Amino acid sequence: MGTPPPGGGSPAPTGTTVKADAAFDRTGTLRSDGLYMSMLGTNFVSAGDEGDTNLGQRAIMSVVLNQVPPGANVTKAVLKVRRFISEGNPFGKFGAMTVDHINAVSSINANTFLASTLTASIATINPPAGVNASATLELDVTAQVKADLAAGRPISSFRFQFNNGPSLDGTFDQVFFFAEQNDETMRPTATITIAP
């Protein structure tokens, strides 16, 4: 895995809340043909489909767990992402978006589009209020973060997808998620609470 993002530092003491920043090289858009574009090369990731190719897209969100001390008792973990609908009508065409907990530690490749699943459908996401409406999405990922820590995985990864896509209509239907390298408020993070 690549270098953790700035702000990693030493693990926090117990009895506190820490922020897990995005893993830049493990956060990005994975296309159904295997092409992966991380947030190192763009300021957003997307789920849905492309209009010119009709290829499906799935958004991979990963956060670094190095702020959590070994053996810590995690009592809560909340993944926070910023999203907006940029093009087309993905929720209207594909229905709700689902989220899988995946293992993306070693790599993200063509197999990750469907496989590498640890737990399927940990959350369902319905459309925000109106096309192009910004929304902050919060997901409880406590069980998934605890499982990753127990397994020794240095990151927690989640795959956002429309299971009923793509369509073959030649139009873009995508949800974009902000993934800005230089602005922590505009990229995926997780707030992790550790018991004393």
Is residue 73 situated within a structural domain?
Answer: no
Give the pLDDT confidence score for residue 169 in this predicted structure.
78
Give the pLDDT confidence score for residue 133 in this predicted structure.
57
Bridge partners of 156, per DSSP, are: 63
Cα 85 to its chain centre, rounded Å, is 16
Question: Is 79:61 a contact under the CB 8 Å cutoff?
Answer: yes
Residue 70 preceded by cis peptide, ω within 30: no
Tens-digit pLDDT profile for residues 123-181? 998 876 555 556 788 999 999 999 999 999 999 999 999 988 777 777 788 899 999 99
Q: What is the mean pLDDT of residues 19-39?
A: 96
Reported confidence tier of residue 4, pLDDT bands at 50, 70, 90: very low
Number of domains, the chain? 1
Give the whole-angstrom CA distance, residue 11 versus residue 49. Answer: 39
Is residue 97 situated within a structural domain?
Answer: yes
Is residue 105 situated within a structural domain?
Answer: yes
Range of the domain at 48: 22-61+81-137+153-185
3-state SS class at 105: coil
Give, for 141, the enclosing helix (H) or strand (E).
Answer: none
Phi, psi dihedrals of residue 167, rounded to the nearest 5°: -95, 170
